[in-house]
A and B are shown apart, each in its own frame.
Chain A
Amino acid sequence: MFWNEKVETLPEKDLQSLQLRRLKKTLSQVENVEFYRKKLKNAGIRPRDVRTLDDLSKLPFTRKQDLRDGYPFGFFAVPLRKVVRIHTTSGTTGKPTVVGYTKKDLRTWADLIARNMTMVGLTDRDIFQNMVNYGMFTGGLGFHYGAELIGMTVIPSATGNTRRQIEMIRDFGVTAIHCTPSYALHLAEVAEEVDTHLDSLTTGLFGAEPWSEPMRKELERKLGVTAYDSYGLSELYGPGVAFECPERDGLHIWHDCYLVEIIDPVTGEVLGEGERGELVVTPLVKEAMPLIRYRTGDITMLYEDDCPCGRAKKIARIMGRSDDMLVIRGINVFPSQIEHVLLGIPEVGNQFMVYVDRVNHLDEMTIDVEINRNFFSGELQDLARIQKKVAKELRDALDLRTTVRLVEPGSLPRFEGKAKRVIDRRGDTL
């Protein structure tokens, strides 16, 4: 189902001319922001130098730190009286990042959310419980207005009081929920405890933190929903930037609103389709806070193949953060790649630890991985074979020789919060 079929399935040529027109407009808007005036001047670029979409790569990047430095309103391109809402992102270190919206921004944002929710089959017949924070976090109000725009019956339940949430799902016959995947698991567990079946649920929209395919299966089994991945960040309005369609193989990013590049996070070089790197977005329709080449820090890639649903190019589910990236002998390695390889080898577990050392001026990567209890035959040669297999598959995937150490089952650390699987000891020897 489409919310706006014409725009969602725009032929490539039309899409590109729309993007170029909007990019030029965005460039004229950022003239109102001192940061960009200076930045573009220093780079020797005048807005009129951008004549084609390829010229985008000449423009400087915008980083999260730049936005922090602009606290509070340094990146607003319109007078404050035109700004009708402010959200902030939690600042774990230092100041939060402030984002502002004009009336038109809020309409555009709600429209994007409506596209996503319609794409997965939700309509005005659905009853939608929005179980995320309704305060400064963009996930609450963002989904709220999108769902209302479709005409859904919206329950702004926000977070907390899980038993009450379960009661409402049951009593109101809720069909669709939105929350973080970890909260959804908690919800399922509590529902089990209080012996309540959430039979009315059909659709689960999960986002705001990365989650895996095994987690999808778990959520679908426990909640009886079809689970969809939702991607967004406050700097680009909030949720709604990209979303899975019913194919559930990659996320549709809305190319008429967001100009997408994938770059090498170290060199800044623009990468091609199918190449993994950092997502860089130039929003094309934002009024209050236009941005140029915003570095999201999220690692993904553009799909080479088109989607049967008829919408434009997808990006892969987020594979990690560029901050987690390791450079080993000049090759970029993401811990998520290692995880992915291990998931495909039944003889070993999914837990791992990575150690990076510098030996004779060369980077050496050692990966500890647990042998799977059920695959231990008692024979040394079988273990050696498993060790070789893991090393080979890692070499094929990473293009890098690594040392694989088999360790006893259950011996590696388990992480409840953010996993710290990489120990880089290269600094120790210098």
Chain B
Amino acid sequence: MGVDSFVIKQISVFSENKPGRLAAIAKALQEEKINILAFSIAEADGFGVVRALVDKPQRAHEKLGKMGFNVAFTDVIAVQMKDEPGGLYEIAKILGQGGINIEYAYAYSGKGGAVLILRVDNTEAAIAAIQKGGAKLLESSLFQ
């Protein structure tokens, strides 16, 4: 399995920190029938970045771009976690031992188990480390 198949395109949207911005983004995705699989908001001084994994990233990029939003793609990876105590530790330990730095992460847990989405400083090295460590990476085709 090639490394590329594990690289997932996250959409990152620049947004001023003011009421209604998230609603505008969400409405646009609804109009395009784009499903949001996971998302988070990172906030800095007066502005933020909305990060989302969606089923149709290209279409989301085009739609939001047309609306005037500043959108970029960011490469992330998704790792299956055990939905039980120690599940996160297992993954974090692998990355720590592999010398991989996590820039940010967010997670969800549902029927299919828990998933950790990671933005790391070196995506290829992280994929190799996780595979070597015996954890399960989710292929991007599962999402997109």
Chain A residues within CB distance 8 Å of chain B: 371, 373, 376-381, 383-384, 387, 405-411
Contact = CB atoms under 8 A, between A and B. Distances in A.
Contacts of B14: 371, 376, 383, 406, 408
B16 A408 contact: yes
Interface residues of B, number: 20
B46 A408 contact: no
Contacts of B46: 405-406
B47 A376 contact: no
B128 interface: no
Contacts of A410: 68
A378 B70 CA distance: 9
Interface string B48-81: 1100000000000000000011111110000000
A379 B44 contact: no
B68 A408 contact: yes
Nearest to B74: A378
Contact of A378 (B12, B16, B45, B68): B12
Given A377-B74, A380-B48, A405-B46, 10 more contacts: A376-B14, A376-B71, A378-B12, A379-B12, A381-B103, A383-B44, A387-B44, A405-B45, A409-B70, A411-B16
B45 A408 contact: no
Contact of A377 (B10, B44, B69, B72): B72
B42 interface: yes
B15 interface: yes
A3 B68 CA distance: 55
B70 A376 contact: yes
Contacts of A411: 16, 68
A376 B16 contact: no
Given A378-B12, A380-B42, A408 B70 contact: yes
B49 A406 contact: no
A54 B71 CA distance: 60
Give the most central of A378, A384, A407: most B CB within 10 Å: A378
Contacts of B74: 377-379
A409 B48 contact: no
Given A379-B49, A380-B44, A383-B47, A408 B69 contact: yes
A384 B43 CA distance: 10
Give the most central of A379, A405, A410: most B CB within 10 Å: A379
A315 to B, nearest CB: 39
A376 B48 CA distance: 12
Contacts of B10: 378
A383 B10 CA distance: 17
Contacts of B103: 379, 381
A379 B48 CA distance: 10
A414 to B, nearest CB: 13
Contacts of A408: 14-16, 68-70
A23 to B, nearest CB: 54
Contact of A407 (B47, B49, B71, B72): B47
Contacts of B44: 380, 383-384, 387
A411 B21 CA distance: 12
A348 to B, nearest CB: 12
B49 A378 contact: yes
Contact of B45 (A376, A381, A387): A387
B71 to A, nearest CB: 8
Q: What 10 pairs across the A-B complex have the smallest Cβ distances?
A: A378-B12, A378-B72, A378-B74, A376-B70, A405-B46, A380-B42, A380-B49, A406-B47, A410-B68, A384-B44
